[in-house]
A = this chain, B = another copy of it.
Amino acid sequence: MFEYKIIKQCKQTKARVGVLTTPHGDITTPVFMPVGTQATVKAVLPESLNEMKAQIILANTYHLYLRPGSDVVKKAGGLHKFMNWNKPILTDSGGYQVFSLSDRRKISAEGVMFNSHIDGSKHFFTPEKAVQIQNDLGSDIIMAFDECIPYPADYDYAKNSTDITLSWAKRCKEAHKDTENQALFGIVQGGMYNNLRADCAKQLTDLDFPGYAIGGLSVGEPKELMYEIIENTKPHVPQDKPFYLMGVGSIDCLLQGVIRGIDMFDCVMQTRMSRNGAAITKDGRINLKNAQYKEDFTPLEPDCGCYVCKNYTKAYLRHLVKSEEILASMLLSYHNLYYTIKIMEGLKDAILNNNTINYIKKFKLTNF
């Protein structure tokens, strides 16, 4: 059921265009995946995601396991049916949230003991359990259970953690049976140490996953360092498999990632900034609370073409933000996701038309 076919390799950069076949349809890469943490992309209807040409969304194993419970989602007929989204879904493994959100976590080679951030209840995640939950959720792409190494971390910590992540990847692979309906991706860790990253990538490659991710980036390190890690890791994962940069999604990082060979991205930024009253424009992030927009009766982006830019002014959006109206989050999330996906679509077309460099130059990135 799963197949990744590269249909165009950029001659100017390491970018490529590919098609990933899944049980819920094809995904053309490079792709930005909106995040639907709790089985909803916050403040956005599934129909709106279709309108903005979202091809796949991400949902969160940790959150859905705790609430409503993966058993409930399974009884509902799986995540697609539960949340009314019939295109592909990727679920993360819960590793990141166990380490960032839960209380009193205790890690061992066997797994992680943690307390729920919701009610303090005690839980134990193992690689096998993370796979089982994702099997129950029924997502198209599932992720191996890993530890996201904090930044900074000393070499010994990073080495030890990466070894654990590798042993967990192997156990995930063994635990995951239904490879026809769900593709299990391995996750490269290794902190900010290129040799650990390379080692990890090689060992994961030996395990033969249908896709690979690079995790533990965008955790506070300088962007230049992140780009370097990507560049040095990319040669060590199979070139004919999708390569997914986890948790990254600002416009500059998307562009910089794609030309380094990244195929998939996800980020909560687009919807989170919306709830804070901010919008993505060609001049960067703008904060609609600013007084300058009070009587600005122009759209966020005249050339955007999205539902929001066609129908609403910055003055109205500012009013909604200032008045703490839910519609502010709805409209800004719509625009921010649409605008991001549109840029990725344009980038895909540029790669197909041997125009990658020219396309990216328009964005006036500081390090390009």
Interface residues of chain A, those whose CB is within 8 Å of chain B, are: 38-40, 42-46, 63, 67-68, 72, 75-77, 82-84, 294-295, 297, 311-313, 315-316, 318-320, 322-323, 325-327, 329-330
A45 in complex: contacting residue of B76, B325, B327, CB < 8 Å: B327
- A138 vs B6: C-alpha distance in the bound complex, in angstroms? 57
Inter-chain contacts of A38 with B (CB < 8 A): 319-320, 323, 325
A68 in complex: contacting residue of B46, B63, B318, B326, CB < 8 Å: B318
Whether A329 pairs with B326 at a CB distance below 8 angstroms is yes
Minimum CB–CB distance for A321 against chain B, Å: 11
18 additional contacts (CB under 8 A) given A45-B330, A67-B323: A38-B320, A42-B327, A43-B326, A43-B327, A45-B327, A46-B311, A63-B323, A68-B294, A72-B295, A75-B295, A75-B297, A76-B297, A76-B313, A77-B297, A82-B313, A82-B315, A82-B319, A330-B330
Inter-chain contacts of A294 with B (CB < 8 A): 68, 72
Pairs of residues from A and B, 5 with the lowest C-beta to C-beta distance, nearest first: A43-B326, A68-B319, A40-B327, A84-B311, A38-B323
- A311 vs B47: C-alpha distance in the bound complex, in angstroms? 11
Whether A319 pairs with B42 at a CB distance below 8 angstroms is no
Q: Which B residue sits closest to A71, measured CB to CB?
A: B295
Q: Which B residue sits closest to A82, measured CB to CB?
A: B316
- Interchain residue pairs with CB less than 8 A apart (30): A38-B320, A38-B323, A38-B325, A40-B320, A40-B327, A42-B325, A42-B327, A44-B327, A45-B327, A46-B311, A67-B323, A68-B318, A68-B319, A68-B322, A72-B294, A72-B295, A72-B315, A75-B295, A75-B297, A76-B313, A76-B316, A77-B297, A82-B313, A82-B315, A82-B316, A84-B312, A84-B316, A326-B326, A326-B329, A330-B330
Number of copies: 2
Minimum CB–CB distance for A223 against chain B, Å: 30
Minimum CB–CB distance for A136 against chain B, Å: 14
- A126 vs B295: C-alpha distance in the bound complex, in angstroms? 26
- A325 vs B313: C-alpha distance in the bound complex, in angstroms? 26
Inter-chain contacts of A313 with B (CB < 8 A): 76, 82
Inter-chain contacts of A46 with B (CB < 8 A): 311
Q: Which B residue sits closest to A46, measured CB to CB?
A: B311
With A75-B297, A320-B40 as given contacts, are A68 and B315 in contact (CB-CB < 8 Å)?
yes
Inter-chain contacts of A84 with B (CB < 8 A): 311-312, 316
Whether A83 pairs with B316 at a CB distance below 8 angstroms is yes
Q: Which B residue sits closest to A320, measured CB to CB?
A: B40
Inter-chain contacts of A40 with B (CB < 8 A): 320, 325, 327
- A329 vs B44: C-alpha distance in the bound complex, in angstroms? 11
